[in-house]
Amino acid sequence: MSQNIKKIDIKNLLKKFTLNSTNSYRTEKGEVNKTNSHIENVNIDFPQFEADGLIKETIDQVLPKSVQDELDEIGITPDELSEMIHFDSITIDDIESITDCGSNGENKKIVINLVDRYYGGYEEEFDKVEVFLTKENGEYIVSSIKFSDGTTIQCNLSESRKQKIRDSISLSEDVEINGYSVLGIKGQRVPVYWNNHYLRGFKDFLDDVKEALNLYPSNALNRVLDSGHFKGIFFGHHRDAPDGMDKDETWAAFAHKDEYIYYNVGGGISIQTILHEFAHTLDYAIEPVVINSHFTQHDVKFKNLYKKYKKQFQQAFDDRIGYNSYSYPEGIPYVEEFFADVVPIYLQYPEELESLFPDLYEYVDDIMHGREVKE
């Protein structure tokens, strides 16, 4: 097979161009170009495609010359830019523009259209993002990425900033911090930190956090976030968990008092998991009967509700809670876990909860809206 022509990936072969028997191809803009290369000389790396389940796109040939010249000027190739962003199955479809930003004119903003590439060559549009580059020691690095929904992820943090994050959520010195985002939820700022190689997983997690925490009434959200104790949410690997946690176990998440929540990237995180863990921080933030303890562990009324319903509630919502009957056949094992499983049901299926367990619904409703729990 001849190797003297430019390699064309499968997207450009099947989508960008229509090859015909006269050895010419038509671009998407309708331009007709002639080539002396026979179709059999097009080099498609099928073994790599089969092994990786996705194709690395070479976009040089579809970039406007002005954009390509600007990339050359700042010393970055499209492939290098793609590597800087680390988007898992997400790849660059095209680069729309490169502009100067910042007072010194050295910082750059690159507007990029991204696509989600699936096994078999199927793809769909993912997002349009703004990538901000900062010049450090003569080279450009990605400092932040802004998504179309306004979410911004900060990257390439200074070592001092990383150390502050480690200290605030009790992480060991060797835990790498890839970046963070501050989410605006009901007028509150929720910091979310990240230790995960791929931005796609982190962006999906941020979307889930926004969806979950927006379900909480403002009063409940404010109790935690206004306490002065809450440091944020961390999204990382179980091996990097704070001291005292089993670093070999694939657990989903845990909440440390009302200070922070740690989610394991490999633990099967869901909206329900996020709601459950935030319920633990709320349980700590309610005026505690005992300092540094769950309120519900000491509240007589809730303990009575727990004894009354721990089995019935589990059976009613078995497929929607963490402490299901398959793993815990005797019912939800702890009063604080009962509360953290009831809260997501209250937030997602309030009418069903009120219909089946009206006194349990009433208790949680009082907590959520800051009313004194009725005896």
Q: Looking at residue 252, what DSSP letter applies?
A: -
The pair of structure tokens assigned to 355 is 């219909």
* Cα–Cα nearest to 295, from 214, 230, 223, 352: 223
Residue 216 has pLDDT above 90, yes or no: yes
CATH topology of domain 45-146: Nuclear Transport Factor 2; Chain: A, (3.10.450)
pLDDT, tens only, 51-62? 333 334 444 445
Q: What pLDDT is recorded for position 374? A: 60
Assess whether pLDDT exceeds 90 at residue 314: yes
Average of per-residue pLDDT across 76-89? 80
pLDDT (average), residues 3-14: 39
Instruction: Evaluate if residue 348 carries a pLDDT over 60.
Output: yes
For residue 170, the model assigns a pLDDT of: 87
| Strand pairing report for 260-264 and 232-236 | parallel
> Cα-flanking dihedrals φ and ψ of residue 4, to 5°?
-95, 10
How far, rounded to the nearest angstrom, does the alpha carbon of residue 157 sit from its chain's CA centroid?
18
Fold classified for 157-368: Collagenase (Catalytic Domain) (3.40.390)
Where are the domain boundaries for CATH 3.40.390 in the chain?
157-368
Q: Looking at the predicted structure, is the pLDDT value of residue 17 above 50?
A: no
The reported pLDDT for the residue numbered 41 is 37
| Higher per-residue pLDDT: 336 or 1 | 336
At 289, the pLDDT band (50, 70, 90 cuts) reads: low
Q: Where in the chain is the domain with CATH 3.10.450?
A: 45-146
39-42 contacts, C-beta under 8 A, 24 or more apart? 40/1, 41/1, 41/2, 41/5, 42/5, 42/8, 42/13
Of 185, 184, 186, 182, nearest to 194 (Cα)?
Answer: 182
Task: From 212, 188, 192, 211, select the one nearest 202 (Cα to Cα).
Answer: 192
pLDDT per residue as tens digits for the range 89-109:
777 878 888 999 877 778 999
Give 300's pLDDT tier (boundaries 50, 70, 90).
very high
Q: Does residue 324 have a pLDDT over 60?
A: yes
Percent of the chain with pLDDT over 70: 79
Work out the angle between the directed axes of helices 335-348 and 300-316 (0-180°, nearest 10).
60
Q: Any idea what DSSP says for residue 41?
A: G
Say yes or no to pLDDT of 218 above 50.
Answer: yes
How far is Cα 134 from Cα 170, in angstroms, rounded to an integer? 30
Q: In the prediction, which pLDDT does 375 show?
A: 56
19 strand-pairing partners = 25
Distance between CA atoms of 306 and 192, rounded to whole angstroms? 32
pTM of the model as a whole: 0.80
Please compute the mean of the pLDDT values over residues 131-140 and round it to a whole number. 89
- pLDDT higher for 325 or 33? 325
Residue with tokens 């020691």: 137
Q: Please check the confidence at residue 30 and state whether its pLDDT lies above 60.
A: no
Q: How confident is the model at residue 110 (pLDDT cuts 50, 70, 90)?
A: very high
Decide if 305 contacts 360 (C-beta within 8 A): yes
pLDDT tops 50 at residue 15 = no
The answer on pLDDT for 313 being more than 50 is yes
Mean pLDDT of the residues in the chain: 80
- Long-range Cβ contact pairs of 132-138 (< 8 A, separation 24 or more): 132/101, 132/107, 132/108, 133/74, 133/76, 133/107, 133/108, 133/109, 134/106, 134/107, 135/106, 135/107
